[in-house]
Structure 1
Amino acid sequence: MTDALHPDHLKPGDMVGPWRIIESLGSGNFGHAFKAERDGELFTLKMAIRPASELTPDTPEKALEQRQVDGRMRHEAATLMANTSLPGLPNMRAVDRWPHSTKGYIYIVTDYVAGEPFHDWRERTRPNAAQLVDIFLEVVRAVGRLHRRRILIRDFKSEHVIVGPDGKPTMVDLGSAWLPGASTLTVGLAPGTPHLLPPECVTFLREGTWKQGARFEVGVAGDLYQLGVFMYEALTNCWPFDPRLTAEELLTAIQTVIPRAPHRMNPEVPEPLSRIVMRLLEKLPEYRYESAEALHQTLWDAAKERTKKAWKVRLVLSPEGPAPMTQDEVEEIRLHRQETDRRVKKVQKQKAEELSNEQLFEQVSATFKEMATELETVNAKAARRKKWWRRIALVAGPLLLGLALFTAWWEWRSPADSIAHAASEKGSPLMFPLSNSWPARAAAAWLCAAFSVGCPAAQVRPLPEDCPQDTVRSMEAMNLFKGAGYRVVIDINQPGTNQQVGTYSAGPVVSRVVKYEWTGPLPDSTLLYGQLWTEGLTKEGPEAVLGRYTEALLPNGRRVPVCFVLGDQTGLTIKHEGSKPGEARLPREWSALAVRRWP
């Protein structure tokens, strides 16, 4: 017999339905977890700390909080039921209410996950980088599986990761998860932990639109940011931003302050892991990894070094605390801050332009409405003017026919050999000569303007020019012109092995240098920032891609201007078979070359 009327009053031996309470596993703001037993098997029973409420549209804010508690548990139940077979998540067994079947406290039952919370496991085992990267890979893989099902976690933290006796992690709290088609828990942001909020969430809060009922548009980037906080904590035993700060100080820090890199705080942290974490903590979502799969691939590449001695050292801060800041670190943070400011201004400018475009669209829409009104008036008179338009058609038809005959006569007078010779000199396939004649171009332009015939715009290739002298001198000082060129992973955001083929679109690209004995002096993992042009280009006949790089980020955090091209001295790389318009297929790893003049 159970006398308890609230989850916090449940004690060992009490019954919740067919489950017998063994012990309390802990409680939080939303629920109380218990170890439970049924038919000799162990389970985890998690119960909301507030019962279901009968709510109306005029429900006061305090009652809405009760709905959040009940709704969070229902969200977690729905998420687990939809994904109960996924590795890295507990298997769902039951969902019910207690003690009343309709008005009681909702609870869910899952298989018992043996182990301990991640922060307890870390404190007990004092793991090395090799052990931690194994945890990271499993957690990121589980998050990626949820993302593929369009489920977002939104409140991921180390307390929600249980590490089992075999060292495998399991995620145990998905109460804030966003599911496609599910109702939202709150206006604005989902319930979460303040010091884990991504910068874009802070921006949303400070804009104040949530006060008018606006909701924050969740995305993959938010989960990736919180994975970065988790890894930062794992590597340093610290948080990027101190949760003991006041609310205003904390939000300001999240939005503006660049945290110290883990390998700067503890030199025993492998720098590749530190760089991955710092990218996850970028202020702008678009500069983090594209997806959990891309993050997993980057971690996998970094983990290839895990057999080295440096990865076997326990990551424990010295009794004096984090390592003191060096002048190099101060300069690195300054450059990072400068680059972040530049990116923020660029995004703000783009948003302003988008807003201007929206205003322009509204003006155009209003104009078209006025035109539509006038057109209705014109149509009312159309019947009376029908004969008049027929006469215009009889005149316009011969004129168009005359224009076509004149164009053909003009081309017949043009020497075909000279046209063919000019085309072959440019190295492009011979095209029907009418396409380049001024009468044909005039006719085509008239058709486009008069009848809305689609006229595609070609991508404009940049012109050949000398590289800036300051850049050339800097590259010479670094001996970047020495060696037999370089090898790069064309897009660091595309998962896969270096032997595979990738698909690339026109626009900005970030490549990663792969160091070999015969390549130039740029160190391994240097990032090259550049641009790809994928349309309207050929190389000795076949279609090609042009790639240019104008900036390099060295592993030590130093940024230098460069002039590099993708491929050989022409800057062109022939597309692989299967390429489509806007989607060029190229090897994932390809050559790059330092140049003094852009080809």
Structure 2
Amino acid sequence: MTTDAFHPDHLQPGNLVGPWRILESLGSGNFGHAFKAERDGDFFTLKMAVRPAPSLDKETQETLQEARQVDGRMRHEAATLMANASQPGIPHLRAVDRWPHVSKGYLYIVTDYVPGEPFHTWRKRTHPSAAQLVDIFIEVVRVVAQLHRHGILIRDLKSEHIIIHPTDHKPVLVDLGSAWLPGGSMLTEGLAPGTPHALPPECVAFLREGRWQQGARFKAAKTGDLYQLGVFMYEALTACWPFDPGMPTEELLVAIETVRPRAPHRLNPEAPESLSLIVMRLLEKRPEDRYVDASALSQALWDAAKERSKKSWKVPLAHSPEGPAPMTQDEVEERRLQKQEAERRAREAPPQKEEERSQEQALEQLSFLTREIEAQVVLAEEKEARRKKMQRRAALVAGSCLLGLTLLAVGWWRFVPHPPAVLSAKGNAFVSTLNNSRSGKAVLTWLCATFSLGCPAAQVRPPSEGCPREVIQGMEALDLFHKDYALIIDINQPGEPNERGVYQSGKIVSRVIKYDWTGPLPEGTLLYGQLWTEGLNKEGRDAVYGRYTEALFPDGRRVPVCFVMGDRSGLTPKDDGSKPGRARLPKEWTITAVRWWP
């Protein structure tokens, strides 16, 4: 079956891309769309670079730059796979080509199909034991070590990119588009595309220094991949991340650079301490404090795995429904020793410029201050929990923030080298260190946020706001108001329109269906938007909120829009049988054009 599809997102089951027959969509991201394909009875994965569709207007410099970036990721992944053709744990590359035009079309690569599910999904479903996890850790590290021997750096290693085979439970690394190859071209200025909450501290320092604004590029190293292995293992052992991805970006970056996360065996007492200590070494702030290389890490995991005969290693790692274990007195002592070590390093560090020393010492000392406050509050919370069964946790957390701000105001003079005092209009002196320090501002807003852990949390519905005036004018010109529309909510879910689908919070691509009563959007138009599925209510029922901000017409035109799912409230009640993080809705639904986001 041939196809007249214009854009990768328009491809449907049965369409042909060269000799490869599309079977189903495997999902899409910012840089590519993956499909399961078939040829001569064998199954493959076809990944196509998603870049701006050719426009009726002349391409702008921005669209050309984006096209080079996404094509570059696909070329990097193809080169990485080709350089490791015989390496187990990585898909085998079968083809590189363009579609629909051999020279001007979208770049795509074809690899062997990898059955299974992403690691984080597999972990939630199977509840593996420590013995099972250490086997997976060793296999993943072995693949990383092999790539490093070839001079290849992954730079965006995370659990979503590790597929667990359904029968032998072997991990396979996929999505190597951010990889750095010796002699390869740079994808972007500054840092390579990656995941913010998994950025190594040295990457955050590069961003803070601002040299990327002058075109400087970060020099990646093997130790960055080792840090991200630590983030992956931390998630596996605790069902949390070292740092909460939901934090505001500036606060998140400050935390990554300055705060030592709680050890996995402290959060989850079922996690073996030997594995926990390996993870904490991988998450060290200074690259030189991590393992020398992936081979040394592999040896450490082998040594830890000698304990696998213990009964505690053979039971599923339980994650308490009440959340992480409270902080212990041992942890308080550990944090005290960490502070002493940091102070020792500060004394031995070479002299710095006074301005740099002021900001860096303020940031370091304040981070330890917040951790000490956290330790005291959590210990108090533990006693209160035994007495009142944790009913007043929220009040204590709020109190901890107030305590932290109070101690900050009182203790700041002891920790920060003082600049000259400035007289206010009334003649009183005050210190302006916080006001003049970017890092200080970030820490001040971050103080309360650091009391939460990096556990997955529900997305927050965005506030009501007006649709941009130019978008409304464009929609009026297309006569998109005063009509209803029908669509398939998720083009990546197979099945019939009269069935039910299962949806999660995050980005969504929907396809318009044309009826006699629907508005002028053409059949097959794709709508790009976002779903929020948790913490919402409509008429007494749990609900989903959906927004759409861009339309891709079948002729290739991209148009900014303002649509909401369902009626003007943007809320659609969930069907019976919905679970947290898995909302059941009809596969076919309606949308409404709005001038104001509800």
TM-score past 0.5 threshold? yes
Partner in structure 2 of residue 266 of structure 1 = 268
Query: Is the counterpart of residue 292 in structure 1 residue 294 in structure 2?
Result: yes
In the aligned structure 2, how far is the partner of 1:63 from the partner of 1:91?
30
Check whether the contact 1:52–1:106 (CA below 8 A) recurs between aligned residues: no
| CA apart distance, 1:260 | 0.6
Check whether the contact 1:51–1:105 (CA below 8 A) recurs between aligned residues: no
Q: Are residues 19 and 283 of structure 1, via their aligned partners in 2, closer, same or farther at CA, if it must alter by over 3 Å?
A: same
Q: Are residues 351 and 305 of structure 1, via their aligned partners in 2, closer, same or farther at CA, if it must alter by over 3 Å?
A: farther
In the aligned structure 2, how far is the partner of 1:347 from the partner of 1:320?
43
Partner in structure 2 of residue 111 of structure 1 = 112
Partner in structure 2 of residue 70 of structure 1 = 71
Correspondent of 1:303 among 302, 305, 315: 305
User: Over aligned residues, Cα RMSD in angstroms?
Assistant: 2.1
Correspondent of 2:337 among 335, 338, 342: 335
| CA apart distance, 1:186 | 0.7
Partner in structure 1 of residue 252 of structure 2 = 250
Q: Are residues 351 and 221 of structure 1, via their aligned partners in 2, closer, same or farther at CA, if it must alter by over 3 Å?
A: farther
Query: Is the counterpart of residue 3 in structure 1 residue 4 in structure 2?
Result: yes
Q: Are residues 2 and 351 of structure 1, via their aligned partners in 2, closer, same or farther at CA, if it must alter by over 3 Å?
A: farther
In the aligned structure 1, how far is the partner of 2:352 from the partner of 2:139?
37
Structure of greater Rg: 1
Partner in structure 1 of residue 129 of structure 2 = 128
| CA apart distance, 1:326 | 1.2
| CA apart distance, 1:53 | 9.0
| CA apart distance, 1:334 | 3.2
| CA apart distance, 1:82 | 1.1
In the aligned structure 2, how far is the partner of 1:170 from the partner of 1:345?
45
Partner in structure 2 of residue 453 of structure 1 = none
| CA apart distance, 1:349 | 5.3
In the aligned structure 2, how far is the partner of 1:185 from the partner of 1:270?
39
Structure 1 counterpart SS, 2:26:
strand
| CA apart distance, 1:234 | 0.4
Check whether the contact 2:28–2:34 (CA below 8 A) recurs between aligned residues: yes
In the aligned structure 1, how far is the partner of 2:212 from the partner of 2:347?
24
Check whether the contact 1:284–1:344 (CA below 8 A) recurs between aligned residues: no
Matches within 5 A, 1:151-190: 151-165=152-166, 166-190=168-192
| CA apart distance, 1:62 | 5.1
Query: Is the counterpart of residue 139 in structure 1 residue 140 in structure 2?
Result: yes
Q: Are residues 53 and 154 of structure 1, via their aligned partners in 2, closer, same or farther at CA, if it must alter by over 3 Å?
A: farther
Structure 2 counterpart SS, 1:304:
helix
In the aligned structure 2, how far is the partner of 1:151 from the partner of 1:22?
32
In the aligned structure 1, how far is the partner of 2:211 from the partner of 2:24?
44
Partner in structure 2 of residue 12 of structure 1 = 13
Structure 2 counterpart SS, 1:12:
coil
Partner in structure 1 of residue 81 of structure 2 = 80
Structure 1 counterpart SS, 2:250:
helix
Amino acid at match of 2:294: A
In the aligned structure 2, how far is the partner of 1:303 from the partner of 1:331?
28
Using CA pairs below 8 Å that are at least 6 residues apart, which structure has the higher relative contact order?
2
Larger mean CA deviation between 62-71 and 130-139 belongs to: 62-71
Partner in structure 1 of residue 51 of structure 2 = 50
Partner in structure 2 of residue 389 of structure 1 = none
In the aligned structure 1, how far is the partner of 2:322 from the partner of 2:127?
17
Residues 566-592 of structure 1 show CA distances to partners (whole Å, capped at 9, x for unaligned) of: xxxxxxxxxxxxxxxxxxxxxxxxxxx
In the aligned structure 2, how far is the partner of 1:345 from the partner of 1:43?
58
Structure 2 counterpart SS, 1:84:
coil
Tell me the TM-score normalised to structure 1 length: 0.56
Partner in structure 1 of residue 421 of structure 2 = none
Matches within 5 A, 1:319-334: 319-334=321-336
Partner in structure 2 of residue 90 of structure 1 = 91
Partner in structure 2 of residue 315 of structure 1 = 317
Q: Are residues 113 and 344 of structure 1, via their aligned partners in 2, closer, same or farther at CA, if it must alter by over 3 Å?
A: farther
| CA apart distance, 1:60 | 3.9
Check whether the contact 1:91–1:110 (CA below 8 A) recurs between aligned residues: yes
In the aligned structure 2, how far is the partner of 1:214 from the partner of 1:10?
39
Amino acid at match of 1:83: N
Query: Is the counterpart of residue 38 in structure 1 residue 58 in structure 2?
Result: no
Which sections of structure 2, spanning at least 5 residues, go unmatched? 355-598
Structure 1 counterpart SS, 2:246:
coil
Partner in structure 2 of residue 199 of structure 1 = 201
In the aligned structure 2, how far is the partner of 1:84 from the partner of 1:330?
49
Identity of aligned residues (%): 74
Which sections of structure 1, spanning at least 5 residues, go unmatched? 353-599
In the aligned structure 2, how far is the partner of 1:86 from the partner of 1:108?
18
Q: Are residues 325 and 100 of structure 1, via their aligned partners in 2, closer, same or farther at CA, if it must alter by over 3 Å?
A: same
Partner in structure 2 of residue 476 of structure 1 = none
Aligned residues: 349
In the aligned structure 2, how far is the partner of 1:37 from the partner of 1:253?
46
